[in-house]
Structure 1
Amino acid sequence: MQVTAYTSTYTDSPPQFPVFGRAAGVCHNCRRSKARCDKSLPACSRCVSKQMRCVYGRQLSTNASAGGVCTDGGEGVIPPTNHQTACIFEVSLETCYKIVGMISVALLSSIDDAEQDASILRMALKPTGLTAASIAQAYKKRVHDWFPILSEDQLISFATPSILGTCHGRDGILLLCMALVSQQPCGHPGHGICCNLYKAAKQSFLLLQTSSRNCIQTLQIGLLLSLFEYGHGLDQESKLSIAACTTMCESHKFLSDGSEDGEELIVAAVCRRAVVIMDCLTELPKYPIDIQISTDIKTSTNNGFNLLNEPAWPDEHILGESDRSLSNFEILFRVASIVREAIQYLKNDATIQSPASSYTTIESRLRNVCFALIQAAGPNSVVFCDSIALALRYDFAISLLGQVKWN
């Protein structure tokens, strides 16, 4: 049986994700119409509903409260018209060729010329108006707290001026990926998401996968690319990036827990958890009203994702009183694990492989984790709200599946 709900002919806006934050001012369309703007990025709800192009200024606000009626008189919302403004889309195609060539030469010759690589990195950053220090600072401010896959030593090294004197290729690509995920909207009409720099970073990541060297930077590059792609609606690309990260975790045996000493081992453990979170996000249905349920769907009997089977914490209880010491990232990992279980249930159920008795257990776990998160979260906790959204989205999908099958 196949049930297909309403399918929109209009391409919906990319899914909201913390990397976008919130615009400092209302968009131009709402300002001209004197209408309420929710200031969502990359596009406000009003522009999405009217299928209009939503244009903001450059500045992002740290205030996570809801948007209001336009009262700012237009300050801070005028799109940049000059080429002196920092913009990652200004990197030329010729420079991007050199970036990819830098990685190719290093892999083929097994020689990584740090000075030459730094020269190419300076060439890439010059037209953008960015510096290694500004990228590191913006990344730490906007991304690192809720997606802590880089070590403090890495952030410090990127913030030092010497990084542009000697910088190995992998570190250079990692820095460029940090710029991609932390860059504010530029507002230039002709700039799309798939810019030259993104393509160069993606191609470099594909090349780095061919190396047999166990390198945490390659995994970090893949995670940031997947995050960037997911946040901008490139769902298939994000799935491919995170699938490559999963393969790296399994083939290189990156550490699955943080029990051993050493900062790199701890970072590897955090990266594995980030892989779990991103893998869960890419599998979630972004628009629950558009769900297809079919017994003809063919899914592999092999899960193909064993990261959740390895212990991350000594206990398995769900966000109880003793968990208040966990970081937001660790809580998000736990939520992702629960939602991942629900995802697998739906896949198995589509092929009539999931026992009916397990539905009640999974639904109960989802409801419990939502209740625990709501209790623990303050009204302005963006990370907790994202976690709740992850669980609720699949709770809705499972409920809909139950109505179709048993009512």
Structure 2
Amino acid sequence: MNALNFTVTERFMRYVTIDTQSNPESPTYPSTEKQKNLGRVLVQELLDMGITDAHLDEYGYVYATIPSNTDKNVPVICFCSHMDTSPDCSGEGVKPIIHRNYQGEDLILPDDITQVLKPQNHPELKNQVGNDIITASGTTLLGADNKAGVAEIMDACYQLINHPEIKHGTIRILFTPDEEIGRGVDKVDLKKLGAFAAYTMDGETAGNMENETFSADGAKLIINGISAHPGFAKGQMQSAIKIAGQIVAALPFELSPEGTEGMEGFVHPVGISGHVEQAIIDFIIRDFDEALLEQHAGVIKQVAEQVLQSFPEATYELIVKEQYRNMRQVLDQHPQIVEYGMEAIRRAGLEAKLCSIRGGTDGSRLSLMGLPTPNIFAGEHAFHGKQEWVSVQDMQKAVETILHLCTIWHEKS
């Protein structure tokens, strides 16, 4: 792999300047039309490489195929990343900056000097001395989540096309929209992919591989209060807004994101809207143990009923919907998919570490849809915020890992 002329950095620096923020309030697919702007760029670059079937479909998905270059019967594998960035922080007007030969200092972002990356707040920076760190300028997120993964896959495609000595079976490429709002595979065409296994490139620290995610539900608590003219409200009004505030305040800290870690699940209010007569609290419910999701939803119900004892005329309704499930239940049935990923990481010269992720990826749902899909590091850190960063060297190692994976599937077939 030493002979590779990496293109991942230049690609990444281009991609992050294209605003692809998704919108959870939009009913369309994709949720924002601007996500297709990046999709069109990727398709053209793939076509320019000579990948003739690259295309963008009506829902904003990019599909492409690198044909097999071997007589061996190798299972079809897919590499996947998402194009959208989080609604939590602006992705418009991203100005990426490369901090060359990082030496452990604080990184002050020039467009907002209050945004400072400090090693004590970003411990992984301590392992990046001598590397080149990419950040945004301080007023936006960077978009390493997941344009680092997109750039890595694109560079790997470039290397496979230009290095035919790397033997591989048929490789499918999939870039998805709307992963950040939980719709990343709603419209994916698995029949078109025709893959036996897939790998999302959407992880954090170099060397990490994730075979386990949260199981996830979404919940909507609808509170029906009693409205009255505020000048004549005594003994009459029961404000749904105030009821909602009391419910949120009464949620147990030990079941909150800020009060949990490791394998512990949580209940998290992510939005409140409404008025005196009706208010709505939107929750996400997470746990690695799917059976505990119902128990966590029961906590919301219990807290609501306790609060409503003081508001006898008010009522509530709790609606719970499945979002995604822990992919490990599928991946454990296909251990070689994870084993090959771990071996590829080791061949790239890294210590391979198998992890659980306190979140979800497109791979969570793809796995439950019948396409086993663990998650491999992309090098992204501090995602969804203005201090997001990635290192050039970690992205290059991710490219190497993809190429080694292609080789290993060929060797083992």
For the criterion TM > 0.5, the same-fold answer is: no
More strand by share: 2
Give the TM-score normalised by structure 1.
Answer: 0.23
**Which structure is larger by alpha-carbon Rg, 1 or 2?**
2
Give the TM-score normalised by structure 2.
Answer: 0.22
